[in-house]
Structure 1
């Protein structure tokens, strides 16, 4: 299902932003005054600047007096997230004849890259860039307070929020969705959109193997630490014996086995009640999405192993949409389908982007609405007849909350990136806590151990994650095969929280001049994102490391591989191909990034948010990453998208019928 471009732009808030930019120009700007003095050398100029996923190339056309066109010619920014900035910022530069433009919420880095590249173009054209960057900003006065009402108010326009909106609309409720970013999607739109379920029928698409068999036996032999775990084990024992008696070669799975896997992989620290009802509804969520236009791929993929490393990555229970090259990424399809279906469900559903919820409205202990603020400063009061659903995500990008609750890592401050969207700052958690909500597992923060130091992400990493890691002194400091938590803690204990991942000609991930993430190697080297040299000594000099120290470190690492033992750091996987022997040699600066926050609001099986006494807060529901307790201390692949849909569906229906 594909939206027409204009309709899609409207739904993502792009048209709204452009309308605002035009209004600013009409009310706060004037057309360039006629002047005999030439402002630019007429022509078309091109320049690039660093975005989230690489360079953003911008082309600017000017005549002697004005900027006539700004166009983004090339970029690798994430579809859906960057759309608003890629359209609105160039238009605003032309409309306002200025570089002093507000960035787009949720696409800040993309906005900055466009403005930086446009400034470079205008400098080439002989323009006064400083004057353009300090030109009085076009601002519109905030409008009077806008008052709105619906049966159900949903905070957050990602996968969980849109699932809740669709479910509420199906239950004949009027719905208002507010999303503080300029586009829908939240962190869902950055994901692989994998959906996990323990449905035994879907499991038949895959073949059983020895690793899977061993895992079933191992989990059944574990000592249970709660009644639910014992019940799951008892049921799985019976199911597995029936499976063995059948002689089937298909993969074994069941709802109870899925629950057991989620619980064990989370270190047996998750909320068993939440795990049980969420996983038990995963197959219904799968079917519900299919009813609404999802075309599931027949291909089932292996979920990535988590930090806990108890659950092997061989279980093939991750499903997603058929990839459509014309339409876009599965995650983008997911968001567009949900938003379309929510608005076409037969009830009154309205979606507001660039509107950030700031406070829950309470009346005698019941949540009856929200206060919100538009990106233009306009205040909103939105009342809810039946209930409010919080689906505003976790706090992976919320530095203050990370620092407040982190008890595991040496540092999770602003220098540590997030793999999630910039708006994933925990606003809903703060609002709910102020209303008396109970927060659980907030210290459980999942971190990816290797991302690029300057860029975040892994597109510009020029080596396998198992390669030699060194610090700024040129010394090895950890077992590179350690868990995400172990390696992250080691890196974040180094000076400037920085490490270098090394590679040679044979064990780099460079193919045909590009990294595995598609970044052009020579461009990355020229920009200082990757270092390349013909000798270890020369590489050390580029890294400002003593060549003798780095040479000794590399020699010791190679020797450990030859001797098949690593007495200093205990690495047991010592493959010949990991040695550094053959030029050219590469170094990539790296730092961990926050990937997922497992903590959040405590809810019951009706998705009602609970207070400190485990009692429901009347009128308040929650779904998705804002909920704590599902994953314990580690999240398995596919669980987050599944939880978005299952919990969102329950929250929307319960809120709609909460009178």
Structure 2
């Protein structure tokens, strides 16, 4: 039976796969990592949507038209209107789809920099990117077991080439899996992400923005522009490859200040009222300006270190994020302004003046740096503060493959390449010179769905071989797809390693019977020998380290330690038995 090949297991690829299944097409998903999710799992602020049910419930007067105007302004008039209309016009439906189809909580709505209305949606806990991506990932993996004739997932399958026929139509891919080169037939959706970690010999980053090449990045090492390079090799046109976004707020780890890969400080931290102060304790920018503007002001000001300061009210509003960053040693809590002033190296009087000046601007709604949107509540010295050191970081690549409004990849002749589609960060022209915060997840979902629709229609038109008519949601498969909870279907077994590349089931009884003390675990605290304690179990995660979607560092921070609190903040309890059961080697003996 004919299939569509989806290359990339991040949110864009997953959204495309689910849409293809809704439309009756079969799916082969190929991901070069050992664990799907990509950078989508790291998104910390939320997903944009205009005219959503959540906004209506909160009385927020937003619309696709207002969102279009904000996006066009942020893009510096360099993005394409037709793509912006797709992004913004389908944004409300995308958010509502996630809530209805996957049972997600996206009821909290915040305003990020560059937005004239609050429209960035998230739930009450955990990183929204992780929650949204995991919900789709788990549902798709369940389907790969219960309906293997419809869904196949191959992990650690690196696609190396797009295959074309004599007419120039893309008819499949060549990929390497288990050391063997294989081919797969079908139209292709590229969802391989960007190139903000492309430090390879043929680096797109070095070619188009050499001055950024030595900056740290928030991206996983899989973001090397694979999709862009493969498509251009078969005649695809690229657009805006020089437009690379440097995010102003990467978190500096005091223990590894020069680390190449940084965790991102969610833009939501500034959205709830966080202030940026230089080494003199002075503000120097509207914290809610566009990302490229804030980055430019950090470089222009040049008074390092730059600190992001959250007072008690802001900290409480985004408590989970603060707790997460403090737990990782990337943020410090201070019990009062005097302690904070000492940390900065200024007098309490100087810090108090900064706070007083800001309070005056809030009351008068006249900020010296042009800030227009303020959080309520005064900044006082007798408050507590959460504080982190910031640095600009490579974050997002606005450039990529040229696509049309149907997510078809455009060739160098200006015409769509038959059989080739793209969604997510691999595609360019959507965000122009600067992407708005909250639009990365949105772009993945919106254009993932558009590419799925287009590829399913193409499959039907060219082969006639489709399981159900396009748009069909009938039968047993539709029942499994349309559940109202993000939890896995109770009727579907957990994925096995057969085609999904994941394993399932409890730890082996022989392992479960072993006990290890805290001292035992503490001995295994190196990259090549790393144990952690999670919920009373001892895990040897050495072999899982390269596959962790949050990067190796997220695990290394807890090497030889009890990681229970941090793990439970980020993950559902079923993650270990579902994705890493073989890592459980015993129980923790207290």
Aligned residues: 440
Match for residue 490 of structure 1 among 297, 303, 325: 297
Q: Secondary structure at the match of 1:614?
A: coil
Q: Distance in 1 between matches of 2:369 and 2:98?
A: 46
8 Å CA contact 1:180–1:357 kept in 2: the answer is: yes
Q: Distance in 1 between matches of 2:125 and 2:287?
A: 32
Do residues 469 (structure 1) and 261 (structure 2) align? no
8 Å CA contact 1:448–1:594 kept in 2: the answer is: yes
Match for residue 557 of structure 1 among 337, 344, 354: 354
Do residues 269 (structure 1) and 78 (structure 2) align? yes
- 556 and 423 in structure 1: CA distance in 2 versus 1, 3 angstrom threshold: same
8 Å CA contact 1:164–1:653 kept in 2: the answer is: no
Do residues 308 (structure 1) and 117 (structure 2) align? no
- 462 and 195 in structure 1: CA distance in 2 versus 1, 3 angstrom threshold: closer
For 1:615, the equivalent position in structure 2 comes to 415
Q: Distance in 1 between matches of 2:220 and 2:191?
A: 14
Do residues 643 (structure 1) and 440 (structure 2) align? no
Q: Distance in 1 between matches of 2:43 and 2:234?
A: 31
Q: Distance in 2 between matches of 1:368 and 1:475?
A: 59
- 655 and 380 in structure 1: CA distance in 2 versus 1, 3 angstrom threshold: farther
- 567 and 470 in structure 1: CA distance in 2 versus 1, 3 angstrom threshold: farther
For 2:33, the equivalent position in structure 1 comes to 181
- 468 and 190 in structure 1: CA distance in 2 versus 1, 3 angstrom threshold: closer
Q: Distance in 1 between matches of 2:339 and 2:45?
A: 44
Q: Distance in 1 between matches of 2:415 and 2:308?
A: 49
1:609 Cα deviation after fit: 0.5
For 1:130-169, list aligned pairs within 5 A.
151-169=3-21
1:610 Cα deviation after fit: 0.5
- 533 and 558 in structure 1: CA distance in 2 versus 1, 3 angstrom threshold: same
For 2:103, the equivalent position in structure 1 comes to 295
1:272 Cα deviation after fit: 1.9
1:614 Cα deviation after fit: 1.5
1:156 Cα deviation after fit: 0.4
Q: Distance in 1 between matches of 2:33 and 2:160?
A: 14
For 1:380, the equivalent position in structure 2 comes to 181
Do residues 329 (structure 1) and 131 (structure 2) align? yes
Match for residue 600 of structure 1 among 400, 415, 429: 400
For 1:195-274, list aligned pairs within 5 A.
202=53, 205-206=56-57, 208=59, 212=61, 253=63, 259=68, 262-264=71-73, 266-274=75-83
Q: Distance in 2 between matches of 1:258 and 1:619?
A: 31
For 2:579, the equivalent position in structure 1 comes to none
1:476 Cα deviation after fit: 4.3
TM-score (norm 1): 0.54
- 462 and 625 in structure 1: CA distance in 2 versus 1, 3 angstrom threshold: closer
For 1:77, the equivalent position in structure 2 comes to none
- 585 and 621 in structure 1: CA distance in 2 versus 1, 3 angstrom threshold: closer
Q: Secondary structure at the match of 1:393?
A: coil
For 2:306, the equivalent position in structure 1 comes to 499
Q: Distance in 1 between matches of 2:99 and 2:317?
A: 38
Q: Distance in 2 between matches of 1:535 and 1:287?
A: 42
1:179-236 C-alpha deviation (Å, 9 max, x unpaired): 1111122233334696666568x48943646xx3xxxxxxxxxxxxxxxxxxxxxxxx
Task: Name the structure, 1 or 2, with higher relative contact order (CA <8 Å, separation 6+).
Answer: 2
Q: Distance in 1 between matches of 2:445 and 2:436?
A: 12
Do residues 356 (structure 1) and 164 (structure 2) align? no
Match for residue 216 of structure 2 among 410, 416, 432: 416
Q: Secondary structure at the match of 2:159?
A: strand
8 Å CA contact 1:154–1:164 kept in 2: the answer is: yes
- 279 and 516 in structure 1: CA distance in 2 versus 1, 3 angstrom threshold: closer
Do residues 439 (structure 1) and 238 (structure 2) align? yes
1:379 Cα deviation after fit: 3.7
For 1:137, the equivalent position in structure 2 comes to none
- 287 and 344 in structure 1: CA distance in 2 versus 1, 3 angstrom threshold: farther
Q: Distance in 2 between matches of 1:562 and 1:273?
A: 42
Q: Distance in 1 between matches of 2:94 and 2:316?
A: 40
Q: Distance in 2 between matches of 1:497 and 1:432?
A: 41
8 Å CA contact 1:492–1:498 kept in 2: the answer is: no
Q: Secondary structure at the match of 1:491?
A: helix
Q: Secondary structure at the match of 1:332?
A: helix
8 Å CA contact 2:341–2:351 kept in 1: the answer is: no
CA root-mean-square deviation: 4.9
1:277 Cα deviation after fit: 4.4
Q: Distance in 2 between matches of 1:596 and 1:500?
A: 22
Do residues 509 (structure 1) and 315 (structure 2) align? yes
Do residues 634 (structure 1) and 438 (structure 2) align? no
Gaps of 5+ in 2: 254-261, 464-590
8 Å CA contact 1:537–1:550 kept in 2: the answer is: no
Q: Distance in 2 between matches of 1:195 and 1:537?
A: 36
Q: Secondary structure at the match of 2:223?
A: coil
1:326-362 C-alpha deviation (Å, 9 max, x unpaired): xx93431122224434665674432111122233234
8 Å CA contact 1:156–1:178 kept in 2: the answer is: yes
1:391 Cα deviation after fit: 0.9
- 595 and 344 in structure 1: CA distance in 2 versus 1, 3 angstrom threshold: farther
Larger Cα-atom Rg: 1
For 2:198, the equivalent position in structure 1 comes to 398
1:446 Cα deviation after fit: 4.2
- 556 and 490 in structure 1: CA distance in 2 versus 1, 3 angstrom threshold: same
Match for residue 190 of structure 1 among 42, 65, 74: 42
Q: Distance in 2 between matches of 1:329 and 1:156?
A: 18
8 Å CA contact 2:276–2:306 kept in 1: the answer is: no
1:579 Cα deviation after fit: 6.0
Gaps of 5+ in 1: 1-148, 213-251
Q: Distance in 1 between matches of 2:240 and 2:393?
A: 19
Match for residue 323 of structure 2 among 518, 541, 546: 518
Q: Secondary structure at the match of 1:381?
A: strand
TM-score (norm 2): 0.59
Q: Distance in 2 between matches of 1:491 and 1:166?
A: 41
8 Å CA contact 1:164–1:652 kept in 2: the answer is: no
Q: Distance in 2 between matches of 1:618 and 1:269?
A: 26
